[in-house]
Structure 1
Amino acid sequence: MKRRDFHLLAGGSLAFGLAAPAVRAQARKSLAFVVNVSADFWTIARRGIEKANREHPDFDMEMIIPSQASAAEQRRILDELLARKVAGVAISAINPASQTDVLNRVAEQSVLFTTDSDAPASKRMLYIGTDNVAAGRRAGEQMKQAMPEGGRAMLFVGTMDADNARERVQGIREALQGGNIQIADIRTDESDFARARRNAEDALSRERDLKMMVGLWAYNTPQIYQAVREAGRQGQVKIVGFDEDALTLRGVADGTIHSTVVQQPYEFGYRSMKGLIRVVNGDRGWIPAGKQDIVETKVIDKTNVGEFQSYMRGLLRSS
């Protein structure tokens, strides 16, 4: 994992707290986008933030990557942001239930959005991201397509403390209800990539009748893909995943992975910054009554993976 990384985007100030009083009074307001783990998924979101910053150079915008994927580390980051008096924060909460107090402190002092993983019990103003129950149902339908004969499946994810993980599992169970696919286990890895790989390898070694593996977070599916290939179990063990990691897309293209349910992290970044700016500038009338801005998902399979890979390459090259 990388150390905590404070990235100032286009238009960002280079020296907080060093300006003379008269200049400081006119300083640009700051917005922060706090993620849950270091992953390419968030590189895509960064592109959306960069676009928003080009459109609003009067704001400082930054993405913050925690040095470790833990609620404690996010708390420390949020405490630092509050000390800096940031105007707005968007966060993918790692453990919403344990973070309610600190999230409410943020909401009392600045504008708080959640993204990717919601914290509905907090005083956050808006959630921008996927309907994860619906996304889970979509993954469940892909599981049934990949394995119509049924069998044992195993799910892999960073932590079941996050709302997006619980909701995706809920959606998968709803889609599989009454069918012939059984979920044998859910393996967690605390966002440790090496442990995620070991979980996949161990499952393949111990569960000889395992027919399907499902990666619920962006980095899980690439670990599963590599473990299945190294074990020589391509075709024997079906794979369904989430998100658009390059290895996941390669696996879809070569047929090892049946499909992946992709989100739109670019929109997470862009809409979060644009929305925070509107609220900071006094406009709250656009906030939906349900306090959710749902970003649609898409299924990528062998029929459309080539086109999607080209789109992703262009997006990741852009700045």
Structure 2
Amino acid sequence: MVTLVVGCGAKETQTQETSNDVEKKSKIGVVVKALDSEHWLTVKKGAEDAAAETGVDVVVLAPDKESNVEQQFRIIEDLIQQKVDALAVAPCDSEGIVPFIEEANSNGIPVLTVDTNADANVVAFVGTNNTLGGKMAGERIVEIIGGEGKVALITGVPGQQTHRDRNAGFKEALKGTNIELVAEQPANSESALAMTVMENILQSNPDLKAVFCTNALMGLGAMEAIDAKGKLGDIKIIAFDTQTDVLNAIKDGKMDSVVAQSPYNMGYEAVKNAVKHINEEDVPKVVDTGTDLITEENVNEYLK
């Protein structure tokens, strides 16, 4: 009888210890803009790999599309109510997100911004220097069309700082040239909408020389519209973000180039730095995950 009691006591103690270990495991909520593209799925993979390495729980959530701002706000609100230990957020609306970051902070939940920054009290911004990336795209267009002619800009959801920065960098690169920016229209980071926008731009500007799309899906949509007009190759397409179909389009000569970021590192570094902050370690205010320009000359390096 004594042996049985001792045995049960040991098992109960072990169960309690295991339960305590589970309770001590930190939970990080990662909220991205959507999970409808290779870019965001790669961010998700990076976050999950970092969680596995650091021994924390991570949940990656997103609205059904980038323009569904209110849905993203509800997701963040729910995670605050769940009392997660940290949040990493890629804001669909850089200004609208601010009250939710403040609410998280008031509940003792630290927030990191990912991909897109916000003017709020955050632990760190993890992502690309988007102004520099936009400037790289602009400089590429200046080079390939000889510094003159008509160009267009198709941008993402209005209100997203990421796209504002890319737009600003792009326009900066065009200064001092004979290039005319004849159209600047949003397509909400959606391929189908970008196709329609591109069709309208081409109708008004049949002599267009180039277009810069501030994400990959919009680049693909613009490419379809240009292809339908039989002008692939004549109108140069530069996009932002890498995914396999974009890289293949560059290889096949359908798209000129793309500004590449590192979505995997965004997710990975966001979770790693959230864990550091939870553990009271120093975290840099900006974690630059880097940019590169992919053209026909180096595209095979990225298709491996």
Normalised by the length of structure 1, the TM-score is: 0.84
Which residue in 2 is equivalent to 1:118? 117
**Residue 62 of structure 2 contacts residue 75 of structure 2 at CA under 8 Å; is this kept in 1?**
no
Aligned residues: 286
Counterpart check, 1:34 vs 2:31: yes
Q: Distance in 1 between matches of 2:279 and 2:150?
A: 52
- Among the aligned pairs, what percent are the same residue? 26
Aligned residue in 1 for 2:246? 248
1:63 pairs with 2:57: no
- Distance in 1, matches of 2:160 and 2:137, equals 18
Aligned twin of 1:14: none
Structure 1 residues 202 and 131, CA gap change in structure 2 (3 angstroms): same
SS state at 2:96 partner:
helix
Q: Which residue of 2 aligns with 1:140?
A: 138
- Please give the per-residue CA displacement for 1:47-86, whole angstroms capped at 9, x wherever unaligned: 21232122123x1112112124232111101110011111
Match of 1:79 in 2: 77
Pair 68,261 (structure 1): closer, same or farther in 2 beyond 3 Å: closer
Q: Which residue of 1 aligns with 2:286?
A: 292
The amino acid across from 2:57 in the alignment is D
For 2:37 and 2:20, locate their aligned partners in 1 and report how far apart those are by CA, in whole Å.
35
Looking at structure 1, the residues matched to 33 and 79 of structure 2 have their Cα atoms a distance apart, in angstroms, of 16
Q: Distance in 2 between matches of 1:184 and 1:229?
A: 20
Paired position in structure 2 for 1:308: 302
Give me the whole-angstrom Cα distance separating, in 1, the residues matched to 2:291 and 2:259. 7
| Secondary structure in structure 1 of the residue aligned to 2:293 | strand
CA contact (8 A) 2:189 2:215 kept: no
- 1:172-194 per-residue CA deviation (whole Å, 9 max, x = no partner) reads 11111010212112111234432
Query: Following TM superposition, by how much is the alpha carbon of 1:46 offset from its aligned partner in structure 2, in angstroms?
Result: 2.1
Deviations 1:240-299 (A, max 9, x none): 11111222111211112111110001100110000000111121x2x33xx211121011
Q: TM-score, normalised by structure 2?
A: 0.88
Q: 1:61 to 1:190 in 2, by over 3 A?
A: same
Partner of 1:6: none
Q: Which has the higher helix share?
A: 2
One-letter amino acid matched to 1:172: F
Q: Which runs of 5+ in 2 are unaligned?
A: 1-15
Q: Which runs of 5+ in 1 are unaligned?
A: 1-19, 311-319
Give how far 1:118 is off. 0.4
Q: CA RMSD in A?
A: 2.0
Q: Distance in 2 between matches of 1:240 and 1:256?
A: 10
Instruction: Give the C-alpha shift of residue 102 in structure 1.
Output: 1.1
The structure whose Rg is larger is 2
